[in-house]
């Protein structure tokens, strides 16, 4: 089950931030899917954010605005 991430600055503007429960206290690894790509390639600018932000969240495309 996914929930909105509390940290609004976790993802780029065109992505929605969601979070899942932690597994045995270990935060879920950051994942991001570029808006126009179906593959699992990480967004280059997000790698730096990963190092600074330890919140458990998954970035996904925003369905509606």
Q: How would you write the pLDDT of the chain (65 residues) with one tens digit per residue?
A: 444 455 555 566 666 565 544 444 444 444 444 444 444 454 444 444 444 444 445 566 544 43
Give the Cα separation of 65 and 55 in Å (integer): 23
pTM (two decimals): 0.24
**pLDDT score for 50:** 44
What's the N-to-C CA distance of the chain in angstroms? 21
For the chain, what are the domain ranges?
1-65
| Residue 22 CB burial class (10 angstroms; 0-12, 13-18, ≥19) | exposed
Give the Cα separation of 15 and 32 in Å (integer): 9
């Amino acid at each position: 089950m996914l929930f909105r991430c509390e940290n609004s600055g976790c993802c780029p503007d065109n992505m929605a931030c969601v979070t899942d429960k932690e597994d045995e206290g270990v935060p879920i690894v950051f994942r991001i899917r570029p808006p126009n790509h179906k593959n699992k390639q990480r967004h280059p600018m997000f790698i730096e954010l990963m190092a600074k932000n330890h919140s458990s969240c998954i970035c996904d495309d925003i369905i509606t605005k």
